[in-house]
Structure 1
């Protein structure tokens, strides 16, 4: 008689399968978009039967929203260093570092988000109007406080955030272009560090917080 897997083992298997599915879904959604992706294609990339996919995620939209939610939660955590900082040089510098590292390690998630928003956010508009709006207002208030304390130049906080997002996410969304200009090779560790240092230096100097 075959023993029934222990709950801890079942949970481990479930977590492994979910990770496989989400990684495959990120890749497929990034390359094909929501409309071009299929559950069968995602199952094939994950190396799992399609039935397994539907066991974990009933619909393509549910899986897509989970992928978007994952990358957004990673971005939210990147702001933790900014929230706990005493000044913009420390806080914004750490935020730039964290966001560029996310672009390096999660390029497909960033591409999924960018494609969704460029198409008018048909699936995640509610996310933009609630979670993202609240997060942006909170970070803008923090930047405004640093401005009021004389720790940085009087810039528009929201436009500064837009610049930070555009600059750091460029390294994910336009990664192919960067690789092409780098002789057809991905940036190596030293090049990534040089890129982060350059972006931090330019932005912090630009806002008078270097």
Structure 2
């Protein structure tokens, strides 16, 4: 039976993962080292290795935590709810995740750019299963004439692209907009308008349903 972690162990583990998130999101997996992570955490390398036996183990813990948080909003899409309200709730929650967890978004982007060597099994398994499930919900709403006919998986892709852009390209976004702008507030209003218009069935199609 595994002994529960002490408060100090839990705190040190959290500190290590937070430092690792900075290192991995800035340098990618290849460029990151355990020495960098230990320095960021304010711990010795042997102390870090007490909690995580390798760089791979730290990275895997971060990715597993990230994927759970990243997928929760998609899990929450309710087939019994109002389609536009459910989709827009998902859009805004994804934008909030980009605002509140930019390092995590960049960590995930780095992993994808490297060919997902440490996440391929998950993205081809759990992630694909969830996307297929929610795409079927979107298609059901489309078939009922409640939202416009669109390729459902590409609709999900577009939500990912348009929300995670604000985390992954934060420096570019802020440089172009200027310091007087709040990129996430403006993005929220823009995406609300864009997706509501995109999702609204044309009157001709609605009349034929």
Using the size of structure 2 for normalisation, the TM-score is 0.88
Residue of 115, 125, 141 corresponding to 2:120: 125
Residue of 183, 195, 204 corresponding to 1:203: 195
1:172 aligns with 2:167: yes
d(CA) in 1 for partners of 2:146, 2:43: 53
SS in 1 for 2:77: helix
Alpha carbons of structure 1 residues 186 and 106: separation in structure 2 relative to 1, 3 Å? farther
Superposition map of 1:16-35 within 5 A: 16-35=11-30
Instruction: Specify the alignment match of 2:135 in structure 1.
Output: 140
Superposition map of 1:55-204 within 5 A: 55-83=50-78, 86-183=81-178, 185=179, 188=182, 191-204=183-196
1:38 aligns with 2:33: yes
Q: Deviation per CA, 1:3-24, whole angstroms, max 9, x where unpaired?
A: xxxx98x532222112211111
Alpha carbons of structure 1 residues 56 and 86: separation in structure 2 relative to 1, 3 Å? same
SS in 2 for 1:82: coil
d(CA) in 2 for partners of 1:205, 1:42: 46
Q: Deviation per CA, 1:42-89, whole angstroms, max 9, x where unpaired?
A: 111111221222111111111111111111111111224423651221
d(CA) in 2 for partners of 1:36, 1:136: 31
Q: Deviation per CA, 1:70-109, whole angstroms, max 9, x where unpaired?
A: 1111111122442365122111111111111110111111
Aligned length, in residue pairs: 199
d(CA) in 2 for partners of 1:89, 1:143: 10
Using the size of structure 1 for normalisation, the TM-score is 0.88
- Please provide the CA RMSD for this pair: 1.9
Alpha carbons of structure 1 residues 107 and 50: separation in structure 2 relative to 1, 3 Å? same
Uncovered stretches (5+) of structure 1, i.e. residues with no partner: 1-6
Uncovered stretches (5+) of structure 2, i.e. residues with no partner: 202-209
